[in-house]
Structure 1
Amino acid sequence: MSEAMLEHVNVTVKDPDATAEMLNQLFGWHVRWRGDAKYQGTTLHVGGADSYIAVYSSGGNDPVNFDRYKTPGSMNHIGVVVEDLDAVEAKVKALGFTPHNHGDYEPGKRFYFDDADGIEIEVISYV
């Protein structure tokens, strides 16, 4: 029996097109699919050949009013592995985001940033 593989995560964002474009610019991904979704919303599947992030919006713009690290059922962050950590960090800064929480410990180097919707993204390199 083969090992299970994570195919996707689905996150709610204000503007799925803007989030998809940001992910494409940072990680070289592409929009795999776009379509109608729950509550008259729209979802874009953004990623590569084997996995993706589904970015969804039904047009709501309510702020997040909880601490995701203290609320059961919350997503804490999305981790993305890259080859060139410094190049991606430069892209993150060029898009106006602030990298934080840099770490260099086993099994790799990493930093985090919060996107326009407050979703924390961890960028990791094992090189």
Structure 2
Amino acid sequence: MSTAFLEHVNFTVADPVKTATQLCDWFGWHVRWNGPSKDNGITYHVGSDTSYVAVYSGGTPVSSDENSYRTLGGMNHVAIVVDDLDATEKKILASGLKTHSHADYEPGRRFYFHDENGIEFEVVSYS
């Protein structure tokens, strides 16, 4: 029996280059690929050798004020596991973003933040 794993998630962002650069800085990832994509857009694949986040733009994105936690099929957050939670939070704060919902419960410590595109990230450490 084979084991399934999550390969990637794909987000529409205002500036794929800027978002890719931030993800590399915050999480120590690298750009796996970038190039033209759907609807004359551009996509960056950013992550590790086994999984990644695709950040895409096909022009001027449309904002939504909908609450994803109340929207059927809404994407609520992406969780990223890191070794050093405090060092990662310092990088995120240094980029001008605010963190929130800090918690320390089994099995690990965590916090959340929203990037400039409104994507919510959970950052967790099990160390």
TM range (shorter): over 0.9
Which residue in 1 is equivalent to 2:28?
Answer: 28
Identity percentage of aligned residues: 56
The Cα offsets for residues 52-90 of structure 1, whole Å up to 9 and x where unpaired, read as 000011112322221111111211111000000000000
Map 1:65-80 to 2 at 5 A: 65-80=65-80
Asked if structure 1 preserves the Cα contact closer than 8 Å seen for 2:12 and 2:61, the reply is no
User: Which amino acid letter does the alignment assign opposite residue 47 of structure 1?
Assistant: G
Map 1:18-57 to 2 at 5 A: 18-57=18-57
1:5 CA drift (Å): 0.8
The SS at the match of 1:42 is strand
Map 1:59-70 to 2 at 5 A: 59-70=59-70
User: Which amino acid letter does the alignment assign opposite residue 65 of structure 1?
Assistant: D
Q: Distance in 1 between matches of 2:4 and 2:82?
A: 21
Q: Which moved more, 1:58-67 or 1:6-15?
A: 58-67
1:50 CA drift (Å): 0.2
Q: Which moved more, 1:11-20 or 1:35-44?
A: 35-44
| 1:114 equivalenced with 2:114 (yes/no) | yes
Which residue in 2 is equivalent to 1:89?
Answer: 89
Q: Which moved more, 1:61-70 or 1:113-122?
A: 61-70
User: Which amino acid letter does the alignment assign opposite residue 33 of structure 1?
Assistant: W
Give the count of matched residue pairs.
127
Give structure 2 stretches of 5+ with no counterpart. none
Please report the TM-score for the alignment, with normalisation by the length of structure 2.
0.97
Give structure 1 stretches of 5+ with no counterpart. none
The root-mean-square deviation of aligned C-alpha atoms, in Å, is 0.8
